[in-house]
Structure 1
Amino acid sequence: MTDPLAAIARTPRLLVALDFDGTLSPLVDEPMTARMAPEARTAVAALLATPATSVSFVSGRTLEHLRVIAEHDDTSAVLLAGSHGAEYWTPRSVRAPKTTGTADADALALRDALRAEAESAIADIEGAWVEAKEFGFGVHSRLVDPAQADQVHGRVDRLVAARAPGWRRRVGHNITEFSFRAEGKDTAVRLLREATEATGVLFAGDDVTDEDAIAALGPEDVGVKVGAGPTAAQIRVDDIAGLAALLLSLAHLRDADRE
């Protein structure tokens, strides 16, 4: 049986697309304090040093917030896809993906109104809070008594279903996200593949939303699941340290293949 890691290491132009929270960074109570684990940072640097290899972070975070937590500046070689593939940053050497969809005044007004209504709907539940996002919002229950978590998400689910039934709904670790844009991480991987002219993609993620990207990968690509849970990925690792070790192995295989 073919080793999927060895096979993807031989692709002429490789894109390594990585979720951030829970994949490169531990999940934290205060989202803006998230930072890449040291071993993950080392692995990303090793991949960037290999020939014909692009690395991208693909996140549900807004592009602005992703740049903060990734400690990312304009000198970085790492491509970014924020808001589940609705926002992008690329270095000058890579053409920026062409996104679709618009944020008209009516959509933004509804976003703001629903955010405020969602905050009111869960105001009496300690620890519940609403995160503003570029094209919608997320409802968090990480700090809520587990006995009340379903109540938090149920209240806002009913609100959005009544007011904005066409919005896209996503469920992650202790969060439900709502957006008036339909892009998913599958969209992000497709557009990043085109932008980097990649012949093969390795995508890694830990959450339910990452399965959109994993399920859309081609037969020559590789999906990696970080942690427990159902997945369509060919490879599973236990945690961030396990993913970092796998990415380092990929970098070494890619270097060895070109010696």
Structure 2
Amino acid sequence: MTTSGQAPAGEVPGVPPELRAALDRLAAAPSLLVALDFDGVLAPIVEEPGAARALPASAAALEALTAVDGVAVALVSGRAMESLRQVSGPPAGALLVASHGAEGDGTPTDLDEDHRALLARVVEAVSAVVDAHPGTALELKPAGAVLHTRTAARDTAAAAVRAVGEGPGSWEGVRSLPGKEVVELSVVEADKGSAVTALRERLAHGSGQRPAVLYAGDDTTDEDAFGVLDPSAGDVGVKVGEGATAAGFRVGTPEDVAALLEHLVSALAASPRKPGFPAGRA
């Protein structure tokens, strides 16, 4: 019998039993990559992007994970690197991938003259869309430009998205990445799936063992990452929130993500493991 308001022993509120079992299996892997989107996963979505912060429980769990031998922690975000560092306050040893893989550990952005010229045209075009659609905003990145629509009226936001999609988003050499209240245009080939693959290969090269992967994300851009996971090899994908997904598991909120990370920390502490690489190294 359980006390009113408390979960039965062994249960974790917000984390389905099947996901807990998958996390327990992950904890036994010799090497593990924990890769996470930031906004909507570690941090609740907020109207002002610069005000986003990881939930305290998630931040504490990340600190604990980076201290475990054989575990690498990576933040894989659509934010620009400077913004990601500012809002995430990453623990020492965490790997950072920004701009959907165009910036970050092992993925430096180096634009040639043609890319720089195309980027200038994209920025000019998106800036014109923003000027014509009140409430939208432009964010500049080293290899792209982002239309933000969260604070615009719904009809205005939709019109701005169409204008970007039919305009610079349709140009040759421009990759369009629609997300929640954003459309990112990039002049380099980069996505979260390629980023996760690169991180896994980097860790495998350093340890001689291919790490199992836990990836959690909430946005359409995270589907590329879910798509490169191999559930048959023990990889675990977790969709946060609603929407169609290729992930094998789903939780509802960032609070649920904190709970699943805490469960993983506990499972790692209880599991007899043979670590594949020292924590914080790759």
CA contact (8 A) 1:57 1:80 kept: yes
Residues 7, 87 of structure 1: alpha-carbon distance in 2 compared, 3 angstrom cutoff: same
Aligned to 1:4, what secondary structure does the other structure show?
Answer: helix
Structure 2 gap segments, 5+ residues each? 1-17, 205-209, 274-282
The secondary structure found in structure 1 opposite 2:101 is: coil
SS of equivalent residue, structure 1 residue 252: helix
Partner of 1:85: 101
- Between stretches 245-254 and 107-116, larger displacement belongs to 107-116
C-alpha separation between the residues in 1 aligned to 2:146 and 2:25?
Answer: 38
Cα distance in 2 between the residues matched to 1:229 and 1:158: 25
The one of 239, 260, 263 equivalent to 1:249 is 263
Q: Which residue type is aligned with residue 20 of structure 1?
A: F
**What is the match of residue 92 of structure 1?**
none
Question: Pairwise mapping of residues 86-165 of structure 1 onto structure 2 (< 5 A)?
Answer: 86-89=102-105, 97=106, 99=107, 102-161=110-169, 164-165=171-172
What is the SS of the residue equivalent to 1:137? Answer: strand
CA distance in 1, matches of 2:155, 2:41: 27
- TM-score norm. by structure 1 comes to 0.89
Name the structure 2 match of 1:22. 40
Equivalent residue of 1:122, what SS?
helix
Alignment match of 2:253 (pick from 212, 225, 239): 239
Which deviations, in whole Å up to 9, do the C-alpha atoms of 1:197-225 show, x marking residues without a partner? 24201000000000100111012200011
**Structure 1 residue ranges (4+ consecutive) displaced by more than 3 angstroms after TM superposition:** 99-102
Report sequence identity in percent. Answer: 38
Unaligned runs of 5+ in 1: 90-96
Alpha-carbon contact 1:122-1:155 (below 8 Å) kept: no
CA contact (8 A) 2:214 2:237 kept: yes
The one of 169, 185, 196 equivalent to 2:203 is 196
Could you tell which deviates more after superposition, 113-122 or 123-132?
A: 113-122
Tell me what 2:193 maps to: 186
Aligned residue number for residue 47 of structure 1: 65
1:166 aligns with: 173
Question: What per-residue deviation string (whole Å, max 9, x for no partner) do you get for residues 15-34 of structure 1?
Answer: 10000111111222222222
Q: Which has the larger radius of gyration?
A: 2
From 228, 233, 236, the counterpart of 1:222:
236
C-alpha offsets along residues 61-80 of structure 1, whole Å, 9 cap, x if unaligned? 122221111124xx811110
Distance 2:163 2:130 in 1: 7
For 2:8, the equivalent position in structure 1 comes to: none
**Partners of 2:129 and 2:164 within 8 A in 1:** yes
What corresponds to 1:10 in structure 2? 28
Alignment size in residue pairs:
248
